[in-house]
Amino acid sequence: MNPVLPRLLSRLVTLLIPIVLVLMSVRILISPAFLIFEYNTPAFPPEPYGFTKEDRLYWSRIAAEYLLNNEDISFLADLRFPDGQMVPPQSCLYMDDCTRLYNARELKHMVDVKNVVRSALWVLYGSLAVVVGLGVWAFFAGWTLEFRRGVRQGGWLTVGLIAAILLFVAISFGVIFVMFHNIFFDSGTWTFLYSDTLIRLFPERFWRDTFIAIGILAGGSGLALGLLLKEKTKGE
Q: Write down the pTM of the prediction.
A: 0.91
Other beta carbons less than 10 A from residue 105's beta carbon: 19
What's the domain count of the chain?
1
Residue closest to 146 by CA, chosen among 16, 1, 11: 11
Task: Please give the mean pLDDT across all residues of the chain.
Answer: 92
Q: Which residues lie below 8 Å from residue 191, measured CB to CB, with a gap of 6+?
A: none
For the segment 211-232, what is each residue's pLDDT rounded down to a tens digit?
999 999 999 999 999 998 865 4
Percentage of the residues of the chain whose pLDDT score is greater than 70: 96
Lowest mean pLDDT among 45-54, 56-65, 78-87: 78-87
Q: How confident is the model at residue 176 (pLDDT cuts 50, 70, 90)?
A: confident
Q: How confident is the model at residue 172 (pLDDT cuts 50, 70, 90)?
A: confident
Lowest mean pLDDT among 21-35, 88-102, 113-127: 88-102
Q: How confident is the model at residue 236 (pLDDT cuts 50, 70, 90)?
A: very low
For the segment 13-24, what is each residue's pLDDT rounded down to a tens digit?
999 999 999 999
pLDDT at 92: 84
The answer to whether 17 and 222 have CB atoms below 8 angstroms apart is: yes
| 217 compared with 189, residue with greater pLDDT | 217
First to last CA, the chain: 19
**233: pLDDT strictly greater than 50:** no
**89: pLDDT strictly greater than 60:** yes
Domain that holds residue 122: 4-232
pLDDT at 201: 96
